[in-house]
Structure 1
Amino acid sequence: MNVATHGLPMEDASRFGLPRAALLRIADAIAAAEGKTSAEIRVVVTRAPLVQHPFFSILWAALAALVLPWLVLFAEPLPALTLLSLQAALFVVMASVMLLPNIAPRVIPRLALKSAARSTAVEMFLAHGIPQTSGRTGILILAAARERIVEVVADEGVHTPLGHGAWRDICEAVAERARHGDLAEGLVAGVEKAGELLSGPLPHRPGDRDELANHVIVL
Structure 2
Amino acid sequence: MARWLRHLFAPSAAGRFPAPALARIGEAVAAGERLHGGEVVFAVEAGLSWAALAAGTTPRARAEDVFARLRVWDTDANNGVLLYLLLADHAIEIVADRGLHGRVGDAQWAEICSAVAAALADGDAERAVADGVARISDLLARHFPPGGDAGDELPDGPVLL
Structure 1 length normalisation: TM-score? Answer: 0.63
The number of residues matched between the two structures is 149
Question: Relative to 1, partners in 2 of residues 1:131 and 1:177: Cα closer, same or farther, differing over 3 Å?
Answer: same
Tell me by how many angstroms 1:145 deviates.
1.4
Tell me which stretches of 4 or more aligned residues in structure 1 moved more than 4 Å: 50-55
Tell me by how many angstroms 1:130 deviates.
1.5
1:79 alignment counterpart: none
Structure with higher helix content: 1
What is the CA–CA distance in structure 1 between the aligned matches of 2:82 and 2:60, rounded to whole Å?
A: 11
Q: Which has the larger radius of gyration?
A: 1
What is the CA–CA distance in structure 2 between the aligned matches of 1:208 and 1:53, rounded to whole Å?
A: 35
Question: Relative to 1, partners in 2 of residues 1:130 and 1:182: Cα closer, same or farther, differing over 3 Å?
Answer: same
Structure 2 length normalisation: TM-score? Answer: 0.84
2:157 alignment counterpart: 215
Preserved contact between residue 161 and residue 201 of structure 1 (Cα < 8 Å)? yes
Q: Percent identity?
A: 28
What is the CA–CA distance in structure 2 between the aligned matches of 1:25 and 1:182, rounded to whole Å?
A: 13
Q: Confirm or deny that 1:170 pairs with 2:128.
A: no
1:143 alignment counterpart: 85
Tell me by how many angstroms 1:53 deviates.
7.5
1:186 alignment counterpart: 128
CA RMSD after TM alignment: 2.0
1:204 alignment counterpart: 146
**Residue segments in structure 1 that go unaligned for 5+ positions in a row:** 1-11, 56-111
**Residue segments in structure 2 that go unaligned for 5+ positions in a row:** 1-11
How do 1:106-125 residues align onto structure 2 when only pairs under 5 Å count? Answer: 116-125=58-67
How do 1:4-15 residues align onto structure 2 when only pairs under 5 Å count? Answer: 12-15=12-15
**What are the Cα deviations for residues 5-41 of structure 1, in whole angstroms up to 9, with x where unaligned?**
xxxxxxx43422x111110111011001111111100
2:47 alignment counterpart: 48
Tell me by how many angstroms 1:208 deviates.
4.5
What is the CA–CA distance in structure 2 between the aligned matches of 1:218 and 1:136, rounded to whole Å?
A: 23
1:3 alignment counterpart: none
Preserved contact between residue 133 and residue 211 of structure 1 (Cα < 8 Å)? yes
1:133 alignment counterpart: 75
Preserved contact between residue 76 and residue 150 of structure 2 (Cα < 8 Å)? no
**What are the Cα deviations for residues 66-96 of structure 1, in whole angstroms up to 9, with x where unaligned?**
xxxxxxxxxxxxxxxxxxxxxxxxxxxxxxx
Preserved contact between residue 47 and residue 144 of structure 1 (Cα < 8 Å)? yes
1:34 alignment counterpart: 33
Tell me by how many angstroms 1:174 deviates.
1.2
Question: Relative to 1, partners in 2 of residues 1:15 and 1:197: Cα closer, same or farther, differing over 3 Å?
Answer: same
Question: Relative to 1, partners in 2 of residues 1:36 and 1:127: Cα closer, same or farther, differing over 3 Å?
Answer: same
1:155 alignment counterpart: 97
Question: Relative to 1, partners in 2 of residues 1:151 and 1:54: Cα closer, same or farther, differing over 3 Å?
Answer: closer
